[in-house]
Amino acid sequence: MRFEFTAEETDFRNQISAFLDDVLPDNWGGSSGLSDDDAWPMDQKFRKELVKRNWLVMSWPKEYGGADSSPMMNTIFADEMAYRRAPGLDGFGTRMLGPTLMAFGNDEQQTQHLGAIARGEVQWCQGYSEPNSGSDLASIQTRATLDGDEFVVNGAKIWTSMGHRADMMFMLVRTNPDEPLHAGISLLLVDMKTPGIEVNPIVNMADVHHFNQVIFDNVRVPKENLVGDLNDGWRVGMTILNHERSGIEFAAGARAAIEELVAYISDDDSPVSQAKSDPNVRIKLAELSTEVEAARLLCYDVTWRHSQGLEPSFEASMSKVAGTEIYQNVLDYGLEILGMYGGLIAGSPQAELQGRFLKLRMLSTATTIFSGTNEIQKNIIAQRGLGLPRLRRAKATS
């Protein structure tokens, strides 16, 4: 892995930065400060701008609507977009499902779905977690029974991000209950307008509607929407998760937050400006900054492995753990520095930094849980990275 960017890569980062300077509103703090009804139209408008510049799926092969850019260029793009908290990306379609369809999808599926994703015409969501199945993903109970040329799906998914906005869902279903847990699972592509689908909103503690519960009542899905082989969905689904876990967004968010915090306490007009001379504050900020940079480099290491034709496994888990934990730690310390000002929500007369740190911290709580909890990620690191044995469950004693 090299630790510097080429001239071409640096120039590209500068292009993205200049574009964001032009299109983002003044004092932009991210769409988390907007209502759902305001954020969604802005997201759609921004996505069209990315499509115009061929940036939305720039790492995809040209035959699928991409620019055949290197994994490093794509990560630079994701890094800069997340650092500026820019809207417009559909990570479910562009980063997770798209590359997986290229690996496991048939020609018809690739033709039907990849072009629509590349043109920014479709929003995807992910149907993995269930009310009684989260970290132990192989225990899913949503059933798909083959009936002629269709699967009949019954069950429920939960914590479905963007389910209320999505056009399509990729979901794991149990197609053979008689097989071992990992062996009887398949992955289906489901049109969210199909009769029998009910989407119920879940408003989180930050008063943001992002999650949903999705209920399936005899939902009929064409057999041709099966991705990969029947009962081989675990392998397909884990490929999707590896793409999800290897994102740089968390490290970029931490970098943005710590820079914002440093600038804030360095301002003589700030009510906590005295903190800039406190040696304990300076030491803590230096420590956090070091961890932010380490998390960022772990993400770029995952990208480098992709560029070498390797498929990251525990390395992706390492980047996810490091990025999410340092993001939360930076936001926690920001709220500590802000003191009582940090507990004020956006719109309060004395709210500092537009109440952003409090809202971001509440939103970040889920980051160490989704995509596989960080405890699960650490088990992956221990087993696949360190070669430690798999933990066995203790037998119950009478």
pLDDT digits (tens, 9 = 90+) for 234-286: 989 887 776 555 568 999 999 999 999 999 999 988 888 888 889 999 999 99
Residues 58 and 175 in one domain: no
CB 142 within 8 A of CB 171: yes
Q: Which of 282-291, 301-310, 339-348, 382-391 has the highest mean pLDDT?
A: 282-291
Residues 75 and 172 in one domain: no
Calculate mean pLDDT across residues 137-142.
Answer: 91
Kindly state whether residue 223 falls inside one of the protein's structural domains. yes
Give me the domain span that covers residue 272: 246-385
Calculate mean pLDDT across residues 160-187.
Answer: 94
CATH code of the domain in which 222 resides = 2.40.110.10
CATH code of the domain in which 322 resides = 1.20.140.10
Calculate mean pLDDT across residues 308-324.
Answer: 88
Residues 343 and 256 in one domain: yes
Please report the pLDDT score of residue 242 as a whole number.
61
Kindly state whether residue 395 falls inside one of the protein's structural domains. no
Compare 289 and 133 and report the one with higher pLDDT. 289
Calculate mean pLDDT across residues 317-330.
Answer: 95
Residues 273 and 191 in one domain: no
Alpha-carbon distances of 217 from 38, 148, 156, 221, 326, rounded to whole Å: 31, 18, 9, 12, 41
Alpha-carbon distances of 262 from 27, 137, 267, 275, rounded to whole Å: 17, 40, 9, 10
Q: What is the 3-state secondary structure (H, E, C) of 187-252?
A: EEEEECCCCCEEEEEEECCCCCEEEEEEEEEEEEEEHHHEECCCCEHHHHHHHHHHHHHCCCHHHH
Residues 262 and 226 in one domain: no
Calculate mean pLDDT across residues 140-147.
Answer: 96
Q: Which of 137-146, 186-195, 374-383 has the highest mean pLDDT?
A: 186-195
How many C-beta atoms lie closer than 10 Å to residue 11's C-beta?
Answer: 10
Calculate mean pLDDT across residues 37-45.
Answer: 88
Identify the three-state secondary structure at position 266.
helix
Q: Which two tokens stand for residue 206?
A: 């930050």
CB 243 within 8 A of CB 95: yes
Residues 253 and 219 in one domain: no
Residues 266 and 363 in one domain: yes
Instruction: Look at residues 65, 89, 113 and tell me which one is the last residue of a structural domain.
Output: 89
Please report the pLDDT score of residue 378 as a whole number.
94
Least-confidence region, from 193-197, 213-217, 393-397: 393-397
Please report the pLDDT score of residue 347 as a whole number.
79
Please report the pLDDT score of residue 396 as a whole number.
45
Please report the pLDDT score of residue 292 as a whole number.
96
CB 383 within 8 A of CB 376: no
pLDDT tens per residue across span 70-107: 989 989 999 999 999 999 988 899 988 998 999 999 99
Kindly state whether residue 94 falls inside one of the protein's structural domains. no
> What is the spatial distance between Cα 203 and Cα 200, in angstroms, rounded to a whole number?
10
The DSSP string of 21-82 is HHHSPTT---GGGS-HHHHHHHHHHHHHHHHHTT-TTTTS-GGGTS----HHHHHHHHHHHH
Please report the pLDDT score of residue 166 as a whole number.
96
Kindly state whether residue 100 falls inside one of the protein's structural domains. no
pTM (predicted TM-score): 0.85
Least-confidence region, from 161-165, 188-192, 214-218, 355-359: 355-359
CB 133 within 8 A of CB 141: yes
CB 192 within 8 A of CB 163: yes
Q: Which two tokens stand for residue 41?
A: 């139209």
Q: What is the mean pLDDT of the chain?
A: 90
Q: Nearest CA to 351 among 8, 29, 24?
A: 29
CATH code of the domain in which 36 resides = 1.10.540.10
Kindly state whether residue 397 falls inside one of the protein's structural domains. no
Tally the domains of the chain.
Answer: 3
Residues 134 and 208 in one domain: yes
The DSSP code for 25 is: P
Residues 212 and 273 in one domain: no
Helices (H) and strands (E) in the chain, counts: 12, 8
Calculate mean pLDDT across residues 52-63.
Answer: 92
Kindly state whether residue 340 falls inside one of the protein's structural domains. yes
Instruction: Look at residues 89, 113, 146 and tell me which one is the last residue of a structural domain.
Output: 89
Q: Nearest CA to 73 among 57, 51, 92, 50?
A: 57
Kindly state whether residue 237 falls inside one of the protein's structural domains. no
Kindly state whether residue 99 falls inside one of the protein's structural domains. no
Calculate mean pLDDT across residues 191-215.
Answer: 93
Please report the pLDDT score of residue 394 as a whole number.
52
Length of the chain: 398
Residues 18 and 85 in one domain: yes
Residues 275 and 358 in one domain: yes
Tell me which H or E stretch contains 169: strand 168-174
CB 142 within 8 A of CB 174: yes
Identify the three-state secondary structure at position 315.
helix
The amino acid occupying position 139 is S
The amino acid occupying position 316 is A
Please report the pLDDT score of residue 2 as a whole number.
60
> What is the spatial distance between Cα 183 and Cα 125, in angstroms, rounded to a whole number?
24
Please report the pLDDT score of residue 172 as a whole number.
96
Least-confidence region, from 174-178, 335-339, 393-397: 393-397
Please report the pLDDT score of residue 398 as a whole number.
42
Q: Which two tokens stand for residue 162?
A: 């963007």
Residues 381 and 340 in one domain: yes
Alpha-carbon distances of 25 from 29, 119, 153, rounded to whole Å: 9, 24, 44
Residues of the chain with pLDDT > 70: what percent?
A: 96
